[in-house]
Amino acid sequence: MDEEAEFTAFVQRQSRFVFRVAYAVLLNAHDAEDVVQETFLKLYRNRGWHPLDNERAFLARVAWRIAVDRRPRQPQSTDLDAAAAEDSPSPDPSPEQVALLSNQQAMVHSMIDALPEALRLPLVLSAFDELNSREIGGILGIPEGTVRTRLQRARQMLHQKLANIQETRYA
């Protein structure tokens, strides 16, 4: 298989994964697609896609850095600990919005979007089976224990919100 065919197969295999990582940072499909293109272009230029031990961990790290660079300047929420992140504003969907979101999955999706970035990124990355807490910590530049703490906090927050919504519905 020649190099072009290998690269094509590589893009077809991993572009959706890279898109999801970029989307978790940027929350915008158009910007996320730009990040995907930038990521693969960078790898193609440097021939950095040939032998990869952990392909997805490597790709997630590259894509995350490019996405963070493209993101509008804002306080570095990824460096916050989970407690500080919990205090940061996390707009809950209003009852009117909840009523509009008839689809439960879309509602949960919007709740994940509304999570602070420090909690959202570990949560989204944990959804990929190939990435464990140590690798997620390596991508985000935080200790493995912090990743676990943030994952727990993120799940607790989502549980709490979903429980509140269900109570409101059945009340």
Partner 1 sequence: MHEKDDLDLLLDNVLSNYGDPGPDSGLERRVLAGVRTRMAAESAPRRRWLPWAVALPAAACLLLIFLAAPRTVHAPAGHATSSASPQEVPLTTTHTGSRPVLIPAPAPRNRQLPTGLQFHRGDRASKPVALPKLDVFPTPQPLTPAELALVTFAAHASEDERKSFIAAQKQADAPLRIAAIEIPPIESPAKGTN
Stretch that binds partner 1, among 52-60, 70-78, 94-102, 121-129 (CB under 8 A): 121-129
d(C-alpha 45, C-alpha 23), whole Å = 23
| Binding status of residue 47 toward partner 1 by CB under 8 A | no
**53 or 170: CB nearest partner 1:** 170
State the number of binding residues for partner 1 (CB under 8 A): 33
d(C-alpha 75, C-alpha 60), whole Å = 22
d(C-alpha 72, C-alpha 139), whole Å = 20
**122 or 137: CB nearest partner 1:** 122
Please identify which residue in the block is written with the tokens 């205090």.
87
**69 or 84: CB nearest partner 1:** 69
**50 or 155: CB nearest partner 1:** 155
| Nearest distance from C-beta of residue 114 to partner 1, angstroms | 13
Exposure string for 124-149, b = 16+ CB within 10 A, e = fewer: bbbebeebebebbbbbbebeeebbbb
DSSP state of 103: S
| Binding status of residue 168 toward partner 1 by CB under 8 A | no
Stretch that binds partner 1, among 46-54, 56-64, 86-94, 105-113 (CB under 8 A): 105-113
Please report, as residue ranges, which positions from 133 to 162 form the binding site for partner 1 (by CB under 8 A). Answer: 155, 158-159, 162
d(C-alpha 103, C-alpha 89), whole Å = 25
